[in-house]
C-alpha cells in the first residue's frame, strides 16, 4: 500500500496484536484447562494459571475412550471421500469445460442450480435411500456420494479453471499421441495443481468436521469419527472437561498441518504460473 508511514505501521502492529490476543483467548483457556486435574478445572473461582500441570491428561484422552480409533476413522473416511471428490469433480469439470457431449448446456444449468440447492431438502430422501440400501451403520453414506461428483462447488471450480487453460497444450498432447484419459492424467491434473490442492484441502476440512451425517448414519461408537467422538467426553459419566479440551486441541492438529502444507503448495503453484 501507499503511504505506509512508520507511525502508521506501528499502529497496525498494535491493533493486530490486540485482536490476535483476543482471538487466542478460547485456545489459551482450553490449553490451560487441558492441563488441569478435574478438580482444579471445576475449582471456584476459576483461574487461568495451572498449579499442577498434568501432561498425562493428553495420554488419558486415548485411554478413557478409543480416541486413536476416532482419529483413524476420521482419516479413513476423509481420505476416501476426498479422493473421490477430487477425481470425479475434476473429471466432470473437464467434460463440462472442454469436451463435446450431448446436452451439455442442460447439464451445466443443472450444475449451477444444484449449487444453490440447500442440502437439507435432500436430507430425508437420502436417509430413506441409504436405509433401504442397508447402508445405515456403515461408512458408505459418508463416502459414496463423494465418488459421484463430489459436490457441485468443486465441479464448478474445476470447470472454471480448465476453461482458462490454453487450447494449444491439449492439441499438442493429442498430436503427441495422448488419449483424453492420458491428457487428463499426465497433463491436465498436474497443471491444475493449485486447484487440486484447494479442492482437496477444503473437502478434507469439510469431511473432517462433518457432524450431521455421521450422527445420522453411525450408531456404533467404535465407528465414530473425531467429531462424534469428542462429544463422548462430555456425555459419558459427567463431563471430563479437562480431557475434552485436550481432545479438542489434538483433533485440530491434523487440519493445521494439512492447511500449512496446502498453503505452501498453493502459493508455490500460483507463483509458478
Q: Which one of residues 18, 56, 68, 107 is an interface residue with another protein (CB under 8 A)?
A: 107
Q: Is 136 in the site for another protein (CB under 8 A)?
A: no
Q: Which stretch binds another protein (CB under 8 A): 50-58, 61-69, 75-83, 168-176?
A: 168-176
Q: Which one of residues 5, 23, 134, 238 is an interface residue with another protein (CB under 8 A)?
A: 23
Q: Is 147 in the site for another protein (CB under 8 A)?
A: yes
The binding track of 54-83 with respect to another protein, each residue x by CB under 8 A or -, is: ------------------------------
Q: Which one of residues 155, 157, 199, 218 is an interface residue with another protein (CB under 8 A)?
A: 155
Q: Is 236 in the site for another protein (CB under 8 A)?
A: no
DSSP string over the chain: -----HHHHHHHHHHHHHHHHHHHHHHHHHHHHHTS-HHHHT-SS--SS-SS--THHHHHHHHHS-HHHHHHHHHHHHHHHHHHHHHHHHHHHHHHHH---TTHHHHHHHHHHHHHS-THHHHHHHHHHHHHTT-TTSSHHHHGGGGTTS-HHHHHHHHHHHHHS-HHHHHHHHHTT--HHHIIIIIIHHHTHHHHHHHHHHHHHHHHH--HHHHHH--SGGG--HHHHHHHHHHSSS--HHHHHHHHHHHHHHHHHHHHHHHHHHHHHHHH-
What is the total count of residues that contact another protein (CB under 8 A)? Answer: 107
Q: Is 182 in the site for another protein (CB under 8 A)?
A: yes
Q: Which one of residues 26, 49, 105, 134 is an interface residue with another protein (CB under 8 A)?
A: 26
Q: For the CB of residue 181, give the shortest distance to another protein in the complex, in Å.
A: 8
> How far is the C-alpha of 204 from the C-alpha of 91, rounded, in Å?
19
Q: For the CB of residue 194, give the shortest distance to another protein in the complex, in Å.
A: 11
Q: Is 191 in the site for another protein (CB under 8 A)?
A: yes
Q: Is 238 in the site for another protein (CB under 8 A)?
A: no
Q: Is 106 in the site for another protein (CB under 8 A)?
A: no
Q: Which one of residues 89, 142, 195, 262 is an interface residue with another protein (CB under 8 A)?
A: 89
Q: Is 114 in the site for another protein (CB under 8 A)?
A: yes
Q: Is 38 in the site for another protein (CB under 8 A)?
A: no
- Exposed e or buried b for every residue in 37-72, given b needs 16+ CB within 10 A? bbebbeeeeeeeebeeebeebbebbbebbbbebbbe
Residues 195-214 close enough to bind another protein by CB under 8 A = 205, 208-209, 211-212
Q: Which stretch binds another protein (CB under 8 A): 51-59, 60-68, 75-83, 253-261?
A: 253-261
Amino acid at each position: 500500500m501507499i503511504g505506509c508511514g512508520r507511525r502508521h505501521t506501528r499502529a497496525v502492529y498494535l491493533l493486530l496484536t490486540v485482536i490476535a490476543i483476543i482471538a487466542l483467548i478460547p485456545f489459551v483457556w482450553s490449553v490451560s484447562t487441558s492441563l488441569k486435574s478435574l478438580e482444579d478445572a471445576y475449582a471456584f473461582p476459576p483461574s487461568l494459571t495451572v498449579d499442577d500441570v498434568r501432561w498425562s491428561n493428553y495420554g488419558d484422552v486415548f485411554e478413557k475412550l478409543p480416541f486413536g480409533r476416532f482419529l483413524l476413522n476420521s482419516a479413513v473416511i476423509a481420505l476416501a471421500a476426498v479422493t473421490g471428490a477430487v477425481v470425479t469433480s475434476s473429471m466432470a469439470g473437464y467434460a463440462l469445460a472442454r469436451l463435446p457431449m450431448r446436452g451439455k448446456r442442460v447439464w451445466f444449468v443443472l450444475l449451477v442450480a444444484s449449487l444453490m440447492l440447500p442440502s437439507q431438502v435432500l436430507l430425508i430422501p437420502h436417509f430413506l435411500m441409504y436405509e433401504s440400501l442397508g447402508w445405515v451403520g456403515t461408512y458408505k453414506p459418508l463416502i459414496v456420494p463423494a465418488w459421484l461428483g463430489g459436490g457441485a462447488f468443486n465441479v464448478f471450480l474445476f470447470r472454471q479453471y480448465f476453461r482458462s487453460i490454453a487450447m494449444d497444450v491439449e492439441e499438442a498432447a493429442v498430436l503427441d499421441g495422448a488419449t483424453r484419459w492420458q491428457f487428463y492424467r499426465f497433463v491436465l491434473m498436474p497443471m491444475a495443481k493449485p486447484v487440486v490442492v484447494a479442492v482437496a484441502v477444503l473437502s478434507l476440512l469439510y469431511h473432517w468436521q462433518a457432524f450431521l451425517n455421521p450422527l445420522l448414519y453411525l450408531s456404533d461408537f467404535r465407528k465414530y469419527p473425531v467429531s462424534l467422538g469428542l462429544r463422548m467426553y462430555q456425555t459419558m459419566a459427567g463431563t471430563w472437561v479437562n480431557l475434552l479440551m485436550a481432545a479438542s486441541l489434538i483433533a485440530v492438529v491434523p487440519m493445521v498441518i494439512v492447511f500449512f502444507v496446502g498453503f505452501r503448495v498453493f502459493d508455490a503453484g500460483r507463483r509458478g504460473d
